[in-house]
Chain A
Amino acid sequence: MQLTLAWVRGFYREPEAIFWVFGFPIVLAFALGIAFKNRGPGELRVGVEGGAGDSVIARALDSAPGLSAAVLDSVEAKAELRTGRIALLVIPGAPLTYRYDSTRTESHLARLEVDEALQRARGRADPVLVRDDRVVELGSRYIDFLIPGLLGMNLMGSGLWGVGFSVVQARTKGLLKRFLATPMKKSEYLLSYILSRLVFLVLEVGALIGFGWWVFHVGVHGTLAGLATVVLLGAFSFSGLGLLVASRAKTVEAVSGLMNLVMLPMWILSGTFFSYARFPDAMQPFVKALPLTALNDALRAVMVDGASLTRVSPAIAIVCVWGLVSFAVAVKIFRWR
């Protein structure tokens, strides 16, 4: 118990750690939230290369909703297209040429919009009447997707760093050996790390969710108890993983490397910033088996869809298995000196 308290104290007296655990995710959420906020369909910038009839084309495009066009000479046009300042370049002539990078989503969109605007300007009529119904409903915006992902990422980061770092530090200082020279139980020692995480958990999760709700109105659709359960299990699981990563490492440098090795793939693969559905089918089973993927899925299901715990139980199971196996292996192979 005193040991848990010691880790807690050691932590809050470390100002940098406070920032990385509490400040960083909030700053990140804020920046990303702003970047993706209310852009709606957005205005696409397109260019028209100088030539016969360029101004007519540019006027037609400019008057279309969602497009803004500028006449550019060919050198400028090339540069702007390459740097992505314009999504597409129209080269007048017969036939008209659209130059764009088809792998860019924006350019693809521009191709459709530009073509429609130009065809309509030349008198094409729509055979079917349509109406736009834009979705601005809470819970389906990017920020709604992002906040649970950040929460998961944060649980991973603080679990691994919080536990792993202090274990290795204690080892390099000879503190582990000193503890070994007392009648303290080894399992109690390892457990104390995990318990100390619990204390910060409340603050850390509270800060991020509170921030999301206050600034972006990202609510929790599921029950708070359900969310707390998922968060708790996630934190335990990553603390276990942190112990495992730190169980043999002898230097702080070594453990930092290991941490990054563990975390980096998950940052990218586990659907924190974008959906992991984008990865090829062959990778999906692997991606889904990662603890952060499972945790993110569970968090999103509870926060956004309001899912019950039973519905997210498969994801929770994956998280728990990772945690238990890591902890068991860590206790077995732990190096005390």
Chain B
Amino acid sequence: MTAAVRPPAVRCAGLVKRFGDLTAVDGLDLVVEAGECFGLLGPNGAGKTTTVEILEGLTPSDAGAVEVLGERWTGGGSDRRLRERLGIQLQETKLPDKLTVEETIRLFASFYREAQDVEAVLALVELGEKRRAWYTKLSGGQKQRLAVACALVNRPELLFLDEPTTGLDPQSRRQLWEVIETFRARGNTVLLTTHYMEEAERLCDRVAILDHGKVIALGSPRELIAGLGAEHVVEFTLAEPGSGLEADLGVLRGVQALRQQDGMYSLTVTELHQALPAVMSLLERRGRHLASLTTHHASLEDVFVSLTGRHIRDD
């Protein structure tokens, strides 16, 4: 079993980082096992980026211990040896405007003692056709793939990705996911931050949900969703304002949890085919009319909502 001999890719304990009065990271403990894809989830300002930059050795922490690939950041010459083994994509890094794709990759390759062939990297991120295009001429998705390519030139064992797909269209996002999956398939470790739930559900073996610099939930996406006790979410609003439905809704068959906020009723249910007709007949008996009704499979978003009462993204 190789998994048994490999130490955790990342281990940190009691991590604290303050910026003035703001505590960005508040006593964070994490273990990322070698070979897994681990996701840090949370709303903006939850401390995801700060945490990742501490782990990357770019930001010093105020307290706590960090171990990356079995080594510690010392601020000395040994850090460079560790950097040879890491791939890092930072949030919102812009690369040199007037360099071509190929030149940029070559430039980053020159920083490492051992680097992949430029052609191999180009093929990996599917930018072969764009090799002579300037950075400024690339689309958002292409720029992001180039940033990931720069993180992959040294064949890292551990790849840090900070919101790799933020602001990208669905197709570009899927292309990038494929790059990440290819990298993982070779037994490497990925630590990524995101506020896209579907991204975490598709890519990550385990996720940690962060809020106010703390881990508020940890586990595989399936475990966390199963923790809600139900698979579906029914949301509806009424045509006429007023409440008084909570007590009756709560006892309906299959309803596990109920929340009402700003006129929006949100039910977490196990058996949609039984719960939904029950809701409809209750409304009918009360003479209430629906303004909107939606249902979806329970997601990590619902996990976050049930834990904090807030949505991860406010948009």
| A177 CA / B150 CA spacing, docked (Å) | 14
CB proximity to B under 8 Å, residues A1-59: 1-3, 5-6, 9-10, 13-14
Q: Quick one: CB contact mask for B73-114 with A, threshold 8 Å, 1 for yes?
A: 000000011011010101011111111000100111111110
Judging by beta carbons under 8 Å apart, are B97 and A10 in contact? Answer: yes
Judging by beta carbons under 8 Å apart, are B56 and A10 in contact? Answer: no
Judging by beta carbons under 8 Å apart, are A183 and B103 in contact? Answer: no
A97 on interface, CB distance cutoff 8 Å: no
- Inside 8 A of B150's CB, which chain A residues have their CB? 178
Judging by beta carbons under 8 Å apart, are B90 and A181 in contact? Answer: yes
Q: Quick one: CB contact mask for A162-206 with B, threshold 8 Å, 1 for yes?
A: 000000001001110111111111000000000000000000000
- Inside 8 A of B58's CB, which chain A residues have their CB? 177, 180-181, 337
| A63 CA / B80 CA spacing, docked (Å) | 84
Judging by beta carbons under 8 Å apart, are B90 and A6 in contact? Answer: no
Judging by beta carbons under 8 Å apart, are B96 and A174 in contact? Answer: no
Chain A residues with a Cβ closer than 8 Å to the other chain, count: 23
Q: Which of A9, A170, A181 meets B98, CB within 8 Å? A: A9
- Inside 8 A of B56's CB, which chain A residues have their CB? 181
Judging by beta carbons under 8 Å apart, are A2 and B90 in contact? Answer: no
- Inside 8 A of B94's CB, which chain A residues have their CB? 173-175
- Inside 8 A of A14's CB, which chain B residues have their CB? 98
- Inside 8 A of B113's CB, which chain A residues have their CB? 183
Judging by beta carbons under 8 Å apart, are B93 and A6 in contact? Answer: no
Judging by beta carbons under 8 Å apart, are B92 and A10 in contact? Answer: no
- Inside 8 A of A183's CB, which chain B residues have their CB? 80-81, 83-84, 111-113
| A1 CA / B106 CA spacing, docked (Å) | 11
Q: Which of B88, B106, B134 meets A181, CB within 8 Å? A: B88
Name the residue of chain A whose CB is nearest to the CB of B85: A183
Q: Which of A3, A10, A173 meets B93, CB within 8 Å? A: A173
Known contacts A2-B106, A173-B93, A175-B93: A182-B111 contact under CB 8 Å: yes
| A271 CA / B97 CA spacing, docked (Å) | 38
Known contacts A3-B110, A6-B103, A10-B98: A182-B83 contact under CB 8 Å: yes
Q: Quick one: CB contact mask for B46-83 with A, threshold 8 Å, 1 for yes?
A: 00000000001110000000000000000000001101
- Inside 8 A of B83's CB, which chain A residues have their CB? 181-183
Judging by beta carbons under 8 Å apart, are A1 and B110 in contact? Answer: yes
- Inside 8 A of B97's CB, which chain A residues have their CB? 10
Judging by beta carbons under 8 Å apart, are B93 and A9 in contact? Answer: no
Minimum C-beta distance from A111 to chain B (A): 59
| A179 CA / B150 CA spacing, docked (Å) | 11
**Residue of A6, A177, A183, A184 with most partner-chain B CB within 10 A:** A183
Q: Which of A3, A13, A337 meets B107, CB within 8 Å? A: A3
- Inside 8 A of A181's CB, which chain B residues have their CB? 56-58, 83, 86, 88, 90
- Inside 8 A of A179's CB, which chain B residues have their CB? 111
Minimum C-beta distance from A150 to chain B (A): 28
Judging by beta carbons under 8 Å apart, are B111 and A177 in contact? Answer: no
Minimum C-beta distance from B137 to chain A (A): 12
Judging by beta carbons under 8 Å apart, are B103 and A9 in contact? Answer: yes
Judging by beta carbons under 8 Å apart, are B99 and A9 in contact? Answer: yes
- Inside 8 A of B103's CB, which chain A residues have their CB? 6, 9
| A322 CA / B12 CA spacing, docked (Å) | 46
- Inside 8 A of B99's CB, which chain A residues have their CB? 6, 9-10
Judging by beta carbons under 8 Å apart, are A2 and B98 in contact? Answer: no
Judging by beta carbons under 8 Å apart, are A178 and B93 in contact? Answer: yes
| A184 CA / B90 CA spacing, docked (Å) | 16
Minimum C-beta distance from B224 to chain A (A): 31
Q: Quick one: CB contact mask for A137-180 with B, threshold 8 Å, 1 for yes?
A: 00000000000000000000000000000000010011101111
| A174 CA / B96 CA spacing, docked (Å) | 10
Judging by beta carbons under 8 Å apart, are B112 and A182 in contact? Answer: yes
Name the residue of chain A whose CB is nearest to the CB of B112: A183
| A91 CA / B107 CA spacing, docked (Å) | 76
Judging by beta carbons under 8 Å apart, are A177 and B108 in contact? Answer: no
Minimum C-beta distance from A132 to chain B (A): 58
Minimum C-beta distance from A335 to chain B (A): 13
Minimum C-beta distance from A112 to chain B (A): 59
Name the residue of chain A whose CB is nearest to the CB of B96: A10
- Inside 8 A of B107's CB, which chain A residues have their CB? 2-3, 5-6
Name the residue of chain B whose CB is nearest to the CB of A178: B93
Known contacts A181-B58, A183-B84: A6-B112 contact under CB 8 Å: no
Name the residue of chain A whose CB is nearest to the CB of B136: A13
Minimum C-beta distance from B243 to chain A (A): 48
| A226 CA / B206 CA spacing, docked (Å) | 67
| A170 CA / B106 CA spacing, docked (Å) | 18
Name the residue of chain B whose CB is nearest to the CB of A172: B94
Pairs A–B under 8 Å by Cβ, sample size 18: A3-B107, A5-B107, A9-B98, A10-B97, A173-B93, A174-B93, A175-B93, A175-B95, A178-B88, A178-B95, A181-B56, A181-B57, A181-B58, A182-B88, A182-B108, A182-B111, A183-B81, A183-B112
- Knowing that A13-B98, A183-B81 are A-B contacts, what are 16 other residue pairs whose CB atoms are under 8 Å apart, sorted by A's residue number? A2-B109, A6-B99, A6-B107, A10-B96, A13-B134, A173-B93, A177-B58, A178-B88, A178-B93, A179-B111, A181-B88, A182-B83, A183-B80, A183-B83, A183-B113, A337-B58
Q: Closest 7 CB pairs between A and B?
A: A2-B110, A13-B98, A173-B94, A182-B111, A183-B83, A183-B80, A184-B111
